[in-house]
């Protein structure tokens, strides 16, 4: 794969990530409103629980990456 192809793939991946983030924010607002109005369904709560689980895992991945980077920089 060429550098140009890598750049296009990375750009597409970033676009998809941003689109998913926007959709997640929209859904969070809807589910939050439903919970506040006490009209949330079980699937709303299940989605919210899964979202929070995913969010926690992402934080773990980011923290591990930051720790590796800090260790690498300290070793230099």
Q: d(Cα 13, Cα 45) in Å, to the nearest integer?
A: 28
Mean pLDDT over residues 28-54, rounded?
97
pLDDT in tens, 28-37: 999 999 999 9
Domain ranges (residues) in the chain: 3-75
**Please, which pLDDT band fits residue 47 given cuts at 50, 70 and 90?**
very high
Please state whether 38 falls in left (phi above 0), alpha (psi between -120 and 50) or beta.
left
């Amino acid at each position: 794969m060429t550098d140009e192809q890598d750049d296009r793939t990375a750009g597409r991946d970033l676009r998809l990530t941003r689109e998913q983030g926007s959709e997640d924010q929209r859904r969070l607002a809807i589910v939050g409103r439903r919970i506040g109005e006490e009209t949330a369904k079980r699937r709303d709560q299940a989605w919210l629980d899964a979202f929070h689980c995913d969010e926690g895992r992402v934080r773990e991945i980011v923290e591990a990456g930051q720790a590796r980077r800090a260790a690498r920089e300290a070793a230099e």
